[in-house]
Structure 1
């Protein structure tokens, strides 16, 4: 279906968005001030969101994460939320809009993923979601220009069939859609961001490329830092992935960057398999859907248990080993409670064996080990041990 003849080239009504007016447009003002805005000449407008305090109404927002974390599933879930108007990870959908997915990879899986998601969240009814598998090279500005009228046509059909505008354009994935020469080149990254804005700005849509993280989640978005710097928002999918088995656990959605909203963890989530049918062998087929865990703290906010310092690690191991061979029941200070204990001298050889030092000089190594044991004994009360001296011996036992 083409664009209606009475529709203008720019379908999206932009007159309701006020922008600061440049000082110097009045007659007689020095032309050198054209383009400048002075404090008090423009009133600040509240930020406009698609999803309140999460995704802006237009611009570029990147959805990033490691392989297997659930980026595409989250992108589909976002499209369902925008199409139904239901909250996305507990955040209010400000405007119900349609979603277009430019699926440069994995297009063959989208039908099942979208059907599974809408069967769970939209009672199976059709939603304003469309996708395109044969994505042109978006690094080519001519290809981007050629794609613009097609995007307008999708916008027109969504308005006619669903009564909503096209508000989100997802690109899955950025690496597959852009023929990148050098992913780390800042100038190339800025060009790609400009092309994304070329896709969204004519209709006032938010463009959200899906991008991989580096080898570890600590490195953030793969490639040039210009991607993060030029984006209006960055959503981060975090997860613990076993690279040997492929098992992925503790998934969570986080707002890693925003020009307006408070950044930080949003919520944990899981992927649940939804059966859509059976194949010719009677085996189930289907797709996973996102299940936010709004009643659980995000994994990134959970305090990881502090690792014991090396002297304590050596002391715990040496204590357990020595207790097997030298442990006996004694009364604290000869008249107190009865505890299973050892002497520090009995444990010292095992501690020396367990505590590694980089010293090559024997005397220096011995001195380093003595100091390490001294620090460990001083810190014993914080790690579940007690010490006391009586009858000429220093004793050690578990509290």
Structure 2
């Protein structure tokens, strides 16, 4: 008897909890408190092996958007607030749902299920803006938007969400190609800093969504608080995904998408975008036009990312120097370089004063 995706996820979560308890046990202790295993009624599949010489045929990579996310993959995309994460997710969603090339890249068309956590009215505006910008009617597109967030760390809820997606896909006669979770914080239902909780979340969506539908599951997440070059919370997320992308917005307003992890293929080239204001064709109570934004691709130009302090000593020096420069009456005079104090990073005649240099 084959195990269900939920049962597979339960076994994987159990194994993760066992390992975590072992790690937490101090060296020399003879007793390890192992959590209870799933019930005996849960079927356990026998482990099998195949001789490598008997494996024939190599399957080509199946891309959802070539060469960005693969089909049947778990992808994380993170960035700071207001950097454009939801706009990027909606941009990909509409391209996949309509079969429209994504900024010149080939797309595998399929149904998209968007699990939103907040701002339903604004999300609808963003979808409409995409349709206006690309002159594509979304009314018949197989794109489905949730009416609430989901607590996907719960194996029962993840299985319930999967059941709903399966029923709607069957009724529409389509197969889910992309499932968007926007954002992790709104749709997890646990502590994102906990390795155990994050691992259970990954196992749940991996089994209930990715493997059940052979779909790409795109998880939208926030940047770390001190380290902006990683997702917030437990590093189990990056370890568990197939691909990871960082989204940044520079002082020039350009949004940059950079691949930080691609498990089974070469990292695609980074991409650049700008946002364009779109008139939605309606007005508010004062007669002002209602607008939203849509992304348009631009030529990518490499920019040096500012480095920020990470250690406690670096942060102390960083804050001390910053305050001195802010109140200084001599900085920028005589032979001293001029200053552009913005976001805690100073540009001085092509010389950057960065906290990382105080190591």
Q: TM-score, normalised by structure 2?
A: 0.67
Does residue 84 of structure 2 align to residue 70 of structure 1? yes
Hey, what does 2:294 align to over in structure 1?
A: 289
Q: Quick one: structure 1 residues 34 and 69, their matched pair in 2 at CA, closer, same or farther if it must change by over 3 Å?
A: closer
Larger Rg, first or second structure (1 or 2): 1
The correspondence of residues 63-142 of structure 1 with structure 2, limited to 5 A, is 63-93=77-107, 95-126=108-139, 127-142=141-156
1:189 maps to which of 198, 214, 235:
198
Shift of 1:125: 4.1
Shift of 1:200: 3.0
Hey, what does 2:284 align to over in structure 1?
A: 279
Q: Quick one: structure 1 residues 168 and 122, their matched pair in 2 at CA, closer, same or farther if it must change by over 3 Å?
A: farther
Work out whether residues 253 and 265 of structure 1, in 8 Å CA contact, stay in contact via their aligned partners in 2: no
Once residues 287 and 79 of structure 1 are traced to their aligned partners in structure 2, the CA distance between those partners, rounded to angstroms, is 17
Work out whether residues 73 and 113 of structure 1, in 8 Å CA contact, stay in contact via their aligned partners in 2: yes
Gaps of 5+ in 1: 1-8, 11-32, 242-247, 306-316, 323-349, 351-382, 384-399
The correspondence of residues 242-257 of structure 1 with structure 2, limited to 5 A, is 249-257=253-261
Q: Which runs of 4 or more aligned residues in structure 1 lie more than 3 Å from their structure 2 counterparts after TM superposition? A: 216-219, 302-305
Q: Quick one: structure 1 residues 262 and 188, their matched pair in 2 at CA, closer, same or farther if it must change by over 3 Å?
A: same
SS class of match (2:101): coil
Q: Quick one: structure 1 residues 215 and 89, their matched pair in 2 at CA, closer, same or farther if it must change by over 3 Å?
A: farther
- Post-superposition Cα deviations, 1:203-235, rounded to whole Å, max 9, x if no partner, equal 222111110011356441111111011101112
SS class of match (2:52): coil
Once residues 41 and 121 of structure 1 are traced to their aligned partners in structure 2, the CA distance between those partners, rounded to angstroms, is 49
Hey, what does 1:61 align to over in structure 2?
A: 75
Hey, what does 2:225 align to over in structure 1?
A: 215
Number of positions where the alignment pairs a residue of Structure 1 with one of Structure 2? 267
SS class of match (1:235): strand
Once residues 238 and 75 of structure 2 are traced to their aligned partners in structure 1, the CA distance between those partners, rounded to angstroms, is 9
Hey, what does 1:258 align to over in structure 2?
A: 262
Q: Quick one: structure 1 residues 199 and 304, their matched pair in 2 at CA, closer, same or farther if it must change by over 3 Å?
A: closer
- Post-superposition Cα deviations, 1:140-192, rounded to whole Å, max 9, x if no partner, equal 11112222221112212442xxxx422111011111111223x2222221111
SS class of match (2:48): coil
| C-alpha RMSD of the superposition | 2.9
SS class of match (2:265): coil
Shift of 1:68: 0.8
- Post-superposition Cα deviations, 1:111-144, rounded to whole Å, max 9, x if no partner, equal 1110110122243342221111322321211112
The correspondence of residues 143-182 of structure 1 with structure 2, limited to 5 A, is 143-159=157-173, 164-181=174-191
SS class of match (2:100): coil
Shift of 1:77: 0.4
Hey, what does 2:54 align to over in structure 1?
A: 41
- Post-superposition Cα deviations, 1:63-101, rounded to whole Å, max 9, x if no partner, equal 2111111000000000111122222233211x2112111
Q: TM-score, normalised by structure 1?
A: 0.61
